[in-house]
Amino acid sequence: YLYMLRLYKGLKKPGILLIDYMDIFRPIGKITGDPYKDQGTVGENFRALAQEWEMPTVSATQFGRSSVELEIDEINETNLADSWKKMMISDTLIAMASNSEQRANGKIFFKLCKNRNGEKDKIFGMNIIYEQLKIVDPKMEADAQLMKQASQAVIDLKERLKQEREEDVDENLEK
């Protein structure tokens, strides 16, 4: 699609480039045979593409096996698996983690491990619905629930007023 954008005018430029798992891509150009160097090169290739198209680029990567048992506040950039070059070229690194109890309760936590343009080490929790692969802000979910309850109260009130009017009409007809 990006190639087509170069060829044809009028195509809409995407607002974000999502890369499904950068670690499995091959680098553009010479392959060294060293997976750590090659992964770093792939990251550099995507960063150059993002700069060329002036759009954010997002991908997933893994943390090392040792981080599986860590709590979210213990995870940091040193836990990143494979090429450290991925860390060096990224502007932002966000870790996602939950232990078995948190997963059972539909909770997932995010930690801003690296932020080239601001604060880091911020942790925030979200609700997750695994069956729908849906992550929901608990505050927004609570607001949505409150709005749903308020809407239902309005519907109930309208129904009650309608019934009272019908009863008044029936009463007046009987007179």
137-154 average pLDDT score: 76
Give residue 112's identity as a one-letter amino acid code: L
Verdict on whether the full-model pTM lies above 0.85: no
Please say if the pLDDT value at position 146 is more than 80. no
Please say if the pLDDT value at position 7 is more than 80. no
Using 50, 70 and 90 to split pLDDT, how confident is the model at 123?
Answer: very high
Query: How far from the centroid of its chain's Cα atoms is residue 115's Cα?
Result: 16
Helix residue ranges, H only, 54-137: 84-89, 100-104
Burial, 39: exposed, middle or buried (Cβ in 10 Å; 0-12, 13-18, 19+)?
A: buried
CA-based nearest residue to 19, from 124, 90, 115: 90
What CA–CA distance (Å, rounded) separates 67 from 111? 13
54-69 average pLDDT score: 82
Please say if the pLDDT value at position 133 is more than 90. no
Q: What is the pLDDT of residues 72-105, one digit of tens each?
A: 888 888 887 877 777 788 888 888 888 889 989 9
Please say if the pLDDT value at position 1 is more than 70. no
